Amino acid sequence: MKDYKVCVYAITKNEEKFVQRWYDSMKEADKVIVLDTGSTDNTVKLLKELGAEVHVKEIKPWRFDVARNESLALIPREYEICVCTDLDEVFEAGWKEKVVACWNDEVTRLRYNYNWSFDEYGNPATSFLINKIHKNGAYKWTHPVHEVLTPLVKEQEIYCEGITVNHYPDRTKSRGSYLPLLELSVEEDPEDDRNMHYLGREYMYYKMWDKSIETLKKHLSLKKATWKDERCASMRFIARCYYAKKESEEAKNWYLKAIDEAPYLRESYIELAYIYYEEKNYLDAYINLKRALEIPSKSKTYINEEFAWNSFPYDLISICAFYLGYYEEALYYVSEAIIRDPKNLRLQLNLEQMEKYVKKSD
């Protein structure tokens, strides 16, 4: 097996609290290079003390793609494999050996597992595949935010078993730059479906309901917008905006469109069921939740949302079943909810009540 050289590269600013954990994870690499974009804390000092090669350069005006490309340009040519990470990410041990074992001279990029978030019990909540391990000289970063690797050569991407990155974000960090950068990204490339979707989602986060609806409908109209999972998400987000505007019938129509687009995803059924639940239409809520729970596993994409796979659908269907008089089913589903959320006292109380009704009905 050829002994490929591996270099980790990253950008950072004021992330001293992550430095030790990040470097301990990344030091399996043959080289670690960091571009600091203007820290005022001890980030640079700590990284240098640990052994990272640190360069400092402010990027004005700020763009993530420019910063990534500046950091990528620092990697010497003899390092064939480049590994892009952020300081709030941690590789599980043994990753470098697996990267080298998967690699060959024809490969340009690796795909591997990414745990983006965890529940309160430490279990992966949102997981998908990413592909930020790549061949040196074969890619550049594009887009001001939600930047992506764009190939400069013919790609050959492969999946590498056993590599996992865990993400532990700083929830106090501002997302304030995202909206203007997404607007710039769409202005620069109005036919890019991915960032049109992200922009519409960002407007939704800011409760700019009408702008979100308009932008997400634009996403759906784009010729490149063919990925059903993302189209389904745009339809769900449009539905959320209409529901926030108190237009529940329009919201329900869009959830039905989302289900038609991607019937293999749980989220649309569950969100539609919640509207029915709020309307005390427990039968339609129950039917949609049953359909959701018939989907046994989630695809490995960022589209999957935590609420569809934690205790929430089991909790909701148990309540609907109870109001419909399906007491044994209600007891079964609340028990399933408790398995996923054992510290939830409300669920425990629901369990006790449902046990009483099952005994009465015997």
CATH of the domain at 126: 3.90.550.10
Angle among Cα 341, 125, 305 to the nearest 5 degrees reads: 105
**What average pLDDT does the segment 14-25 reach?**
97
Mean of the pLDDT values across residues 305-312?
Answer: 96
- 55 neighbors 34 (Cβ within 8 angstroms): yes
Residue 158 contacts by C-beta under 8 Å, 6 or more apart in sequence? Answer: 102, 107, 109, 110, 111
* Segment 249-267, tens digit of pLDDT: 999 999 999 999 999 999 9
The range of the structural domain enclosing residue 344 comes to 310-362
5-18 average pLDDT score? 97
Lowest mean pLDDT among 141-155, 215-229, 293-307: 293-307
Let me know if residue 137 belongs to a domain: yes
Closest CA to 311 of 350, 272, 256, 275: 350
The arithmetic mean of pLDDT across residues 26-51, rounded, is 98
DSSP letters along 82-121, please? EEE--TTEEEPTTHHHHHHHH--TT--EEEEEEEEEE-TT
Q: Is the pLDDT of residue 324 over 80?
A: yes
For range 97-122, the mean pLDDT: 96
Distance, CA of 230 to CA of 50 (rounded, Å): 41
SS3 12: strand
Q: What average pLDDT does range 131-139 have in this prediction?
A: 98
Look at residue 300 in the predicted model and tell me its pLDDT.
84
- pLDDT the model gives residue 80: 98
End-to-end Cα separation, the chain, in angstroms:
67
Alpha-carbon distances of 194 from 89, 145, 227, rounded to whole Å: 23, 11, 10
Structural domains of the chain, count: 2
**How confident is the model at residue 315, as a pLDDT?**
98
The residue assigned the tokens 């892009």 is 84
pLDDT at residue 189, as a whole number: 96
Mean pLDDT of 29-58: 98
Q: Is residue 190 part of a domain?
A: no
Residue 214 lies in a domain: no
How many CB atoms are located within 10 Å of the residue 147 CB? Answer: 21
Tokens, residue 251: 């919201």
pLDDT at residue 359 tops 90 = no
> Does the pLDDT value for residue 136 go beyond 80?
yes
pLDDT at position 38, please? 97
Burial environment of residue 191 by CB neighbours within 10 A (0 to 12, 13 to 18, 19 or more): exposed
Distance, in Å, from the CA atom of 106 to the CA atom of 100, rounded to the nearest integer, reads: 13
Residue 144 pLDDT > 90, yes or no? Answer: yes
Give the number of other Cβ atoms within 10 Å of residue 37's Cβ: 20
The answer to whether 52 and 59 are in contact (CB under 8 A) is: no
Q: Which residues contact 327 (CB under 8 A, 6 or more apart)?
A: 321, 354, 357, 358, 361
Examine residue 182 and state whether it is found in any structural domain, yes or no.
Answer: no
Are 48 and 71 contacting, i.e. CB atoms less than 8 angstroms apart? no
Q: Give yes or no for a cis peptide into 61 (omega within 30° of 0).
A: yes
Q: Which of 138, 167, 196 is the last residue of a domain?
A: 167
Residue 88 lies in a domain: yes
- Residue at a domain's end among 139, 167, 195: 167
> Can you tell me the mean pLDDT for 300-306?
90
Interhelix angle 193-205/228-244, rounded to 10 degrees, is 20
Mean pLDDT value across the chain:
96
* Per-residue tokens: 314: 């089991």
The confidence band for 360, taking pLDDT boundaries of 50, 70 and 90, is confident
Please determine, for residue 361, whether its predicted confidence score (pLDDT) is greater than 80: no
Final residue of a structural domain among 103, 137, 167 = 167
Is residue 231, in this structure, part of any structural domain at all?
Answer: no
Whether residue 211 has pLDDT greater than 70: yes
| Residues found in the chain | 362
Quick check: is 24 in a domain?
yes
Does residue 252 lie in a domain region? no
Whether residue 172 is predicted with pLDDT greater than 90 in this model: the reply is no
Tokens matching residue 62: 């700020």
Whole-angstrom distance, CA of residue 104 vs CA of residue 83: 15
Residue 1 has pLDDT above 80, yes or no: no
| Predicted local confidence at residue 128, as pLDDT | 94
How many helical (H) and strand (E) elements, i.e. helices and strands, does the chain have?
Answer: 14, 10
Residues of the chain with pLDDT > 90: what percent?
Answer: 93
Query: d(Cα 54, Cα 32) in Å, to the nearest integer?
Result: 9
Which residues lie across from 82 on neighbouring strands? 7, 134
